[in-house]
């Protein structure tokens, strides 16, 4: 078997952790890229035990900080020559957040973690991805975007510094940016062996204890109701596994997959070349 090396960001909980278990169960090496050492260590032991694969590793990265992403990439490159699968799963979505929050590097946290972080990490890992027999970049978006069919990238103010900040709006904006970025990467990499695809994650149960400190009773009640209509992280991770490992997807690039592994369409706006170019111009202006 071709043993693959796979990085999954934010894999200490939820879907990312279940995906780590599934990919490790298949005998591949998983690198769990997590921001918190304690939470990461606990999850690492669990992933090793459940997958019966000791070849799982924890590496620390805060996806909201470019300095942290650079030092993560440096460590990875010092130890590995190739990378087969890069899954951009980590996301900032603090549902109880009321005000805009900036990282220590001065960038709005949702935009920074959910969009700029994946773009920078991919850039830094392109060389090892090129060395894979079929490198795969996988971004993670949201079915909730369908509720905003006319959403556009806020090119002049992507951090919502000058317009009203709302964490939900900022989140879907970052998820739209990830889908458009995926199409841009697929086009850019079309003459290479690397593919770029995105996953449209549906409603998935979350561990509400992770968020409850900031949540009103009403939001808590709404979330527990929502979880009744949600699938498990384990079920959703099957799509991550499919995109990461299936031979059927060799050479398939620039596609958006739903939780049944079917190719679906994103909004009309997200495919338009000029919109993608505008997004990537403003995105690249952030990378130091
Ligand atoms: N659950 C849903 O209904 C749903 C719907 C649509 C899309 N999604 C997407 O699915 C993906 C996984 O979400 P989930 O449901 O599994 O939620 P989750 O359990 O909250 O997982 C999010 C992960 O991202 C990590 N993370 C957050 N900020 C980070 C940072 N700055 N650096 C590194 N890691 C960071 C978290 O780590 P910590 O433990 O350190 O916080 C956590 O491991 C996300 O991209 C999310 O947007 C989920």
What percent of the chain is predicted at pLDDT more than 90?
A: 89
Tokens for 222, please give them.
């709404």
pTM above 0.95, yes or no: yes
Answer for the pair 111, 31: CB distance below 8 angstroms, yes or no.
Answer: no
The pLDDT of residue 230: 95
Q: Which of 80, 148, 171, 211 is catalytic?
A: 171
Give the number of other Cβ atoms within 10 Å of residue 151's Cβ: 16
Is 242 one of the catalytic residues? no
Cβ atoms of 263 and 205 closer than 8 Å:
no
Residue 130 tokens, joined: 């090129």
Ligand 1 residue neighbourhood (C-beta within 6 Å): 9-10, 12-16, 34-36, 39, 61-64, 89-93, 113, 140, 142, 144, 201, 203-204, 206, 210, 233
Separation between Cα atoms, residue 139 and residue 156, nearest integer Å = 24
* Burial class (CB within 10 angstroms; exposed 0-12, middle 13-18, buried 19+) of 223: middle
pLDDT band at 224 (very low <50, low <70, confident <90, very high): confident
The string of pLDDT tens digits covering residues 231-251 is 999 999 999 999 999 999 999
Residue 177 has pLDDT above 90, yes or no: yes
- Rounded to the nearest whole angstrom, what is the distance from the C-alpha of residue 281 to the centroid of ligand 1? 26
Assign 207 to helix, strand or coil: coil
Residue 265's contacts (CB-CB under 8 Å, 6 or more residues apart) are: 256
Could you tell me the CATH superfamily of domain 5-205+232-286? NAD(P)-binding Rossmann-like Domain (3.40.50.720)
- How far, in Å, CA of 103 to CA of 65, rounded? 7
CA of 113 to the centre of ligand 1 (A): 10
Q: Where are the domains of the chain?
A: 5-205+232-286
């Amino acid at each position: 078997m071709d043993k693959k090396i796979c990085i999954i960001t934010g894999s200490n909980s939820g879907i990312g952790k279940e995906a780590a278990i599934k990919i490790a169960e298949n005998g591949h090496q998983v690198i769990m890229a997590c921001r918190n050492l304690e939470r990461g260590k606990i999850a690492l032991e669990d992933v090793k035990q459940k997958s019966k694969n000791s070849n799982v590793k924890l590496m620390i990265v805060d996806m909201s900080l470019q300095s942290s992403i650079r030092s993560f990439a440096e460590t990875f490159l010092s130890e590995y020559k190739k990378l087969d699968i890069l899954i951009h799963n980590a996301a900032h979505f603090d549902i109880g957040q009321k005000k805009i929050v900036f990282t220590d590097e001065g960038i709005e946290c949702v935009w920074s973690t959910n969009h700029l972080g994946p773009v920078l990490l991919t850039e830094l890992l392109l060389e090892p991805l090129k060395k894979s027999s079929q490198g795969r970049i996988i971004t993670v978006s949201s079915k909730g975007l369908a509720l905003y069919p006319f959403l556009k990238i806020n090119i002049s103010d992507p951090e919502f510094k000058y317009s009203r900040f709302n964490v939900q709006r900022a989140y879907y904006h970052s998820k739209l940016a990830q889908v458009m970025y995926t199409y841009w990467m697929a086009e850019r990499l079309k003459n290479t062996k690397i593919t770029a695809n995105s996953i449209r994650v549906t409603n998935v149960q979350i561990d509400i204890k992770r968020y409850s400190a900031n949540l009103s009773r009403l939001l808590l009640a709404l979330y527990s109701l929502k979880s009744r209509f949600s699938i498990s992280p384990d079920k959703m991770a099957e799509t991550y596994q499919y995109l990461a490992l299936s031979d059927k997807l060799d050479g398939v690039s620039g596609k958006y997959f739903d939780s049944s592994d079917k190719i679906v369409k994103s909004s009309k706006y997200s495919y338009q070349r000029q919109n993608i170019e505008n997004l990537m111009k403003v995105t690249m202006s952030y990378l130091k």
